[in-house]
Amino acid sequence: MLLRHGHWPSGWEDGAGGSPESEDLPRALHPEPLAEGGPVLWPVLAITAAVALSANSAARRATEPSGADLIGPSIAFITSHQNADGGFGERRSGSDPSVTAWAVLAIKAAGQDPARTERNGNSPADYLAEKPYPLATDLALRILALDALGKDVERLADELERLREPKGRIGPFVNSTIWGVIALRAADRPVHRSTIRYVILQQQRSGGWSWHPRAGADTDDTAAAIEALRAAGMAARSRAIQRGLAYINRFRRRDGGFAMGDGASNTQTTAWVIQAQIASGRNPGRKPFAYLARMHRRDGGFRYSAGYASNPLVMTARVVPALARRPFPLR
């Protein structure tokens, strides 16, 4: 997806397809009589069982994470990684512009002002002020971060628009165009119709998008494309959006998370999917948030997956907007 180098169909709602309660309920409603010829007490037992199941379900729902309760510890984890220059970086690493931008977006998504997040008097804006952005995706991410910091991004938005080719592509790749659209909308710029057309034409037969015109589709880039098209004004019921959501659905795993492709769930993909669903007016349900909660570490950061804990700062920064139910661009 970004910086790799960078719908619900019927029956997919949370809880659809049956649950332990729905399977057990018929037996609870139709027990055998207590004794042959004795009083048939099954209606009373049925009511008692149904009330107990309802109470248990309500109690479980009350204790299941909605995502919001994970935001505070996650932001504390992120801010603990701010360096003296105002930037952010993984442990035992210096500040990095891209990592800093993701940290800024997470803090903003959480409802806080990233401009007031300082270390030794230096803010993220101070750190990013003179840092280069060699790729189109770097420029798009810089616009998103500086906009979140309350900075004027008009010059950068002009620069991004100059990267648009006659057929609408922004930069060299599909994902640079997708994130270019998101960045332009963050800057309150209209998106040229040729660029919207280019993104739509890059949708593959599967319904998904890829980072490159000749690469296979993946869940991450599909989720970002849905956010971009929605930000550009495409209707949630449009064919392109619905096909994209259907593609994403194929990669939902039994643990409640989503996979980028064939394989296991991971936090990053699950977060992108939540944002795409919310951008499309869909309710992600509780299961994706329950999956993210299981990937949440005691120190406040997130694992990449059950098997890997790489780059916890970046993973955490990318998950927080989903926990806050805020798609890109942040409004």
Report pLDDT digits (tens) over 3-61: 443 332 222 233 333 333 333 323 222 333 333 344 444 444 444 444 444 444 444 44
Instruction: Give which of 290, 293, 329, 296 is closest to 61, Cα–Cα.
Output: 290
For residue 1, the model assigns a pLDDT of 52
Residue 288 lies in a domain: yes
Domain membership of residue 271 as a residue range:
68-323
Q: What is the pLDDT of residues 128-141, one digit of tens each?
A: 999 999 999 999 99
Whether residue 130 is contained in a domain is answered as: yes
Residue 3 covered by a domain = no
18 domain-assigned? no
What's 305's domain CATH number?
1.50.10.20
pLDDT band at 67 (very low <50, low <70, confident <90, very high): confident
Tokens of 108: 């903003």
Per-residue pLDDT tens for 91-126? Answer: 989 999 999 999 999 999 999 999 999 999 999 999
Query: With 0-12 CB in 10 A as exposed, 13-18 as middle and 19+ as buried, what is 28?
Result: middle
What confidence tens digit (pLDDT) does each residue in 272-282 have? 999 999 999 99
Average pLDDT, the chain: 86
State the pLDDT at residue 220: 98
Instruction: State whether residue 297 is helix, strand or coil.
Output: coil
89 falls within a domain = yes
The whole-number pLDDT of residue 2 equals 52
Residue 37 lies in a domain: no
Q: In angstroms, rounded to a whole number, what is the distance separating the alpha carbons of residues 190 and 206? A: 29
- pLDDT at residue 53, as a whole number: 41
What sections of the chain are H helices per DSSP? 20-29, 42-63, 68-79, 97-109, 124-128, 136-148, 154-161, 174-186, 193-201, 219-231, 239-249, 267-279, 287-294, 312-323
In a domain, 58, yes or no: no
Whole-number Å distance between alpha carbons of 123 and 103: 12
- Give pLDDT, residue 52: 44
Report if residue 29 sits inside a domain. Answer: no
- pLDDT number for residue 92: 87
Domains of the chain: total: 1
